[in-house]
Structure 1
Amino acid sequence: MPRRLLLLVVSTLVLLGGCATPAPVSEGDPRGSYQYTEKYLSWLVDREMAENEITGLSIALVDDQQVIWQKGFGYADLENGIRAAPETIYRAGSIAKLFTAAAIMQLADQGKIDIDQPLAAALPEFSIKSRFPTAGPVTPRNVMTHHSGLPSNFLRGMFVRDPARFESVVDSLRDEHLTFPPNYVFSYSNVGMALLGAAVQKVGGAAFDEHMERQFFRPLGMPHSSFTPRAITKAYDRNKEIEVFSLRDMPAANLLSNVTDLSQFLKMQFAGGRSGPQQILSGASIAEMLRVQNADLPLTFNSYVGLGWMLSGIEVPGGGPVASHGGSLPDSHSMMAMLPEHKLGVVVLANSVTAHFAVSKIAGEALRLMLEAKTGIRQSPAPVVRARERAPSSAELRLFNGHFDTMVGLSKVSTESGQIDVEAVGHHFRLVPHEDGLFSIKYKVFGLIPVHVGAFDDIRLSIASVDGRQIVVGRIGGESLIFGEKLNPTSIPESFLQRIGQYEIIGKIDGPSPDHIVLKEDDGLLVGEVRFPEIPELLLRIGFRPVSDDEAVTDGLGSGRGDTLRLIHEDNEERLGFSGYRLRKKLN
């Protein structure tokens, strides 16, 4: 869900061209006919694949217990001329989390797990340090809602060629800290889902992949689906084959499947948990997974989540709640979404780096068109009324001047020019206030000239104060979410100031790794800078807040925040420790 806003920002660096072929026009098909839906989606997929240089994509549409259309586009294997088809197997990415959550709910139906008891009751090996003595426990429920306070990731060994078993994170987390109090803020956690997978193994009595095969894939009729520790499908970046790495946290993202199989999961949802004669999940569990779990939390900002399902991010006016989950890996993207009230669903899988926006856009359009075809509910676009731009007030200039942690890393905001100028990820932007109190974003060409960019047109920002924190709220349509937070300079202990400089990772890295790691001081903030050779133009800056003489945490709210940076003395040298990595200071 937050990645949607993040990638909208990053996408400003790419301006997409239009498609010369006009969209098909509806010929007034009778109610219940999906003929126009198929025509329009075929046109849309072709356009998105051309504009985004997507190599292969497959789609399936589900109406209750029927797959009404499924088709492959492009190539599953470009080098060998193998066309994509509904049967093509893709990396489904984080759609895996829906199955892991379903496995937990199935064990709850059987009375083997209580999702509101501490996770350690089901997984006694689990423990983690905490700086929040009055906070409640980590539970299966708050893990499934990404409100557990667990770290988002344990980075060392996470994305490699030859991963360790995912259960290894249980031991690794014992020396880590909770990043937030449980039930405080949405913080997407792959580690949390790995722990749930370990709990499924412990309680279910079989290896996670075997359990999922026996309890879900086989009874649902999903013969081509599997959880696997290693990626075995091809992936592409602008039609060039790239190396595919594996994610250690198998229950979080290592699902291999096709649109035909995943349609069976949607059918089960629409049948109240049944698949043929078998009751896979109880109707109560199906309903609970679709119930908003975080409505009463002060940091929700209308960004809702169920158990496994995301309940914000795709809007279909008149369609009722939209439940969805995407799968975004560095090399491929996917989306599964449904309208539970109308028993309509869609699955889109793609094998390309550049498919992130396309799979979400195609899925949203599919639900819109299917709803119209099935019910006659037509969504006329509401007129867009833009409040006029205005000059920033003196209060706004004072508020925005400084450093902000954002979804694209640490951003430096300057108001010396009388405008709100932002430097982030190595690029320059301007926040422009409007008369309605919201702010829009302009990209500054060559760091000088502010211009409108299409990817920013739907984004509006505002400031909210919660628990004394100055929070930037991002709005896209009817969805709001935490975009960032203003950081205040803190006293940096001398022990950290002595460690300022360039660092290198100790030990061989079996996967992508940064080639530039710097710890520095910037206007009273302790800042880390990272560059990756795969994206040399992207500079990731991270603000750290010292919590003791030898520990600091990544500052800000949400995913990837609250992780601990440690000063360590081992092997007769001073090192930094972060998420399993050991860093050694480079000699000048």
Structure 2
Amino acid sequence: MTTPHEELLPATRRALLHRIAVAQAQGRAPSMVAAVVRDGRTAWHGARTSVEGHAPDENVQYRIGSITKTFTAVLVLRLRDEGVLDLGDPLEKHLPGTGVGEATIAELLAHTGGLAAETPGPWWERSPGSLRPELADVLGEQPRLFPPGRRFHYSNPGYALLGALIEKVRGASWEEVLRREVLEPLGLRRTSVRPQTPYAGGWAVHPWADAMLPEPAEDLGRMAPAGQLWSTTEDLARFAAFLVKGDDRVLSAESLREMRTPAASHEAADVASGYAYCLGMEIRRRNGRSLVGHTGSLPGFLACLMISVEDDVAAVVLANCTSGPLLFAVASDLVRIVADAEPRIPAPWKPMTDVDASLLELTGQWYWGTYGFALRLTADGLASLEPLSGNGRRSRFRPNGDGTWTGLEGYYAGEVLTAVRRPDGSVSHLDLGSFVFTRQPYDEAAPVPGGVDSEGWRGIG
């Protein structure tokens, strides 16, 4: 009998090694390390290198670039969950004087704040942060390209602002807050702002010759919250597991689900390619799978962390070259190899521990007009409403403790479901955001908006 924590099969492990071997060779990467996470645990680690007799292991640090943004977003969501701020607050409310304070915190997280993609002046990734000591140096004289909230435009300075926001609210440096509130609780001991031995050197590989050039590793200063971190495949594997299951010491599973939900309006080309941005995370589609995570790059390094929540499989891939291997393709293939060869075995079905008769009578068939729906209660304490046929609106609902339910996803996310009862206690209908669901199509005994024709249903005569 297969258990969730069994090691991967030999054929699966060989397929994973083959995939990164091809990527390292064809992409001409000095080295590449990868890890696969299944059921919240590291299931495989592999490495390829151009140095004979030595291969980096899961504890060698690489620079992870913009995966740093996901860490910064976790800190911002923590502040929201504590009630210190609201994602709809304008930045000015908490960090005055930036000149772009009308953008909301959510817009900065989702890259819809209208800010420029890069800083003014020298290429910030290849120059010391001391050249940009203040936020004004990061933003420049024309920091805004578009009105806030109008369009997705990836902005590195936007995450520098979020880092400054964290510092202002917490009264400590972004680095200190990150270490205290995320890295230490999650046990990410090999994730740091500056490299710690052993770590890989960053290289540029000549596009037309098999020759290399070392890249500088600058301290990014104010831009650190956008891309400073160094980490390992082992730490990022642990972080990937957290991004799915949560950890109440850091951030709840519900808030992480919110982080994984698209939050930005994208152009047609992005939608067509299956790309969307969330709150500090990306969603991409490949080979029929939806993958959430983040990519990263800085001169000398490429990084990718991708998760298939449905398969409960994640992949981390790191390389020490400026360009070459397409790490998103590699990571998504690692997920596909495991998920297809060894599909997730669902947990055994278990019945509810307690059955509430007043809730049980709500289950079964309901109609919104002439559309048929089924309401079900599940052992996890949630309710689900889904169409009897087709791909109509569906959602799960969590109980609010007062007889109402709140939608968790899709069209009904955030909407309140209420069972409306008659004076004698019997259920008249369900109210869901003003939609009336009845036991029969256009039930004349329920308050159907617009009323029901008194002559009832009829044929053509």
TM-score, normalised to structure 2, is 0.66
User: What is the CA distance between 1:340 and its match in structure 2?
Assistant: 1.4
Specify which of 331, 334, 344 is matched with residue 300 of structure 2: 331
1:315 lines up with 2:286 in the alignment: yes
Aligned to 1:237: 204
Equivalent position amino acid for 1:141 in 2: A
Change (3 A) 1:297 1:46: closer
Q: In structure 2, which of residues 245, 251, 262 is the aligned counterpart of residue 281 of structure 1?
A: 251
In the TM superposition, what whole-angstrom CA distance separates every residue of 1:177-206 from its partner, at most 9, and x where no partner exists? 410011222211100011101111111221
Residue matched to 1:168 = 134
Q: In the aligned structure 1, how far is the partner of 2:20 from the partner of 2:340? A: 19
| Distance (Å, rounded) in 2 between the aligned partners of 1:114 and 1:270 | 23
Structure 1 residue 343 and structure 2 residue 296: aligned? no
Q: Identify the residue that residue 504 of structure 1 maps to in structure 2.
A: none
Match for residue 366 of structure 1? 334
Residue 60 of structure 1 aligns to a residue whose secondary structure is strand
1:132-171 paired onto structure 2 within 5 Å: 137-157=102-122, 158-164=124-130, 168-170=134-136
- In the TM superposition, residue 45 of structure 1 has moved relative to its aligned partner by 1.4
After superposition, residues 3-42 of structure 1 pair within 5 angstroms as 33-42=8-17
Distance 1:37 1:145 in 2: 36
Shift in Å, 1:42: 0.9
Answering whether residue 233 of structure 2 is matched by residue 259 of structure 1, we say: yes
Which letter does structure 1 place at the counterpart of 2:106?
R
The equivalences for 1:420-459 within 5 A come to none
Residue 53 in structure 1 maps to residue 28 in structure 2: yes
Partner Cα separation in structure 2 for residue 45 and residue 33 of structure 1: 16
The residue number in structure 2 matching 1:100 is 72
Provide the C-alpha distance between the structure 2 equivalents of 1:101 and 1:227, rounded to a whole number of angstroms: 16
Map of 1:563-574 to 2, 5 A cutoff?
none
Matches within 5 A, 1:110-509: 110-128=82-100, 137-157=102-122, 158-164=124-130, 168-170=134-136, 172-173=138-139, 175-228=141-194, 233-238=200-205, 240-246=212-218, 247-248=220-221, 249-271=223-245, 273-274=246-247, 278-294=248-264, 301-302=271-272, 303-312=275-284, 314-317=285-288, 319=289, 321-357=290-326, 359-375=327-343
Report the secondary structure of 1:150's partner residue. Answer: coil
* Structure 1 pair 43–292 and aligned structure 2 pair: CA distance change class (3 A): same
Counterpart position of 2:45: 70
Secondary structure of 2:311's counterpart equals coil
Q: What percentage of residue pairs aligned between the two structures are identical?
A: 26
Counterpart position of 1:28: none
Write the letter of the residue equivalent to 2:286: E
Q: Which has the larger radius of gyration?
A: 2
| CA-atom RMSD in angstroms | 2.8
**SS of match in other structure, 1:375:** coil
Q: Structure with the greater relative contact order (CA < 8 A, sep ≥ 6): 1 or 2?
A: 2
**Is 2:59–2:233's contact at 8 Å kept on the other side of the alignment?**
yes
Report the secondary structure of 1:98's partner residue. Answer: helix
CA distance in 1, matches of 2:133, 2:107: 20
CA distance in 2, matches of 1:283, 1:90: 28
Instruction: Give 1:297 deviation, angstroms.
Output: 7.8
**CA 1:331–1:85 in structure 2 vs 1: closer, same or farther (change >3 Å)?**
same
- 2:18 maps to 1:43: yes
- Counterpart of 2:441? none
Q: 1:261 to 1:166 in 2, by over 3 A?
A: farther
AA partner of residue 208 (structure 1): W
Choose between structure 1 and 2: higher strand proportion: 1
Q: Is the 8 A contact 2:66 2:297 kept in 1?
A: yes
CA 1:39–1:250: 2 relative to 1, 3 Å: same
Distance 1:122 1:128 in 2: 12
Counterparts of 2:10 and 2:85, CA distance in 1: 45
- Are residues 270 and 192 of structure 1, via their aligned partners in 2, closer, same or farther at CA, if it must alter by over 3 Å? same
- Paired amino acid for 1:183: G
For residue 234 of structure 1, report the CA deviation from its aligned partner. Answer: 0.9
State the Cα deviation string for residues 430-467 of structure 1 (Å, max 9, x = none): xxxxxxxxxxxxxxxxxxxxxxxxxxxxxxxxxxxxxx
Q: Residues 120 and 64 (structure 1 numbering): CA distance in 2 closer, same or farther, change over 3 Å? A: farther
C-alpha distance in structure 2 between counterparts of 1:373 and 1:166, whole Å = 49
Distance 1:107 1:35, change over 3 A: farther
Which region of structure 1 is more displaced relative to structure 2, 166-175 or 236-245? 166-175
Q: Is the 8 A contact 2:193 2:230 kept in 1?
A: yes
CA deviations on 1:276-307 (whole Å, 9 max, x unpaired) are xx531122211111112135888863532111
CA contact (8 A) 1:309 1:325 kept: yes
Instruction: Find the residue that maps to 1:348 and give its secondary structure.
Output: strand
Aligned partner of 2:354 in structure 1 is: none
Q: Residue 259 of structure 1 contacts residue 349 of structure 1 at CA under 8 Å; is this kept in 2?
A: yes
Secondary structure of 2:16's counterpart equals helix
CA 1:240–1:299 in 2, change beyond 3 Å: closer, same or farther? Answer: closer
More deviation, 229-238/255-264: 229-238
Superposition deviation, residue 35 in structure 1: 3.0
Match of 1:413 in 2: none
Query: Number of matched residues?
Result: 329
Secondary structure of 1:126's counterpart equals: coil
User: How far apart, in 2, do the equivalents of 1:165 and 1:107 lie?
Assistant: 30
Letter in 1 for 2:225: P
What letter is aligned with 2:186?
A: L
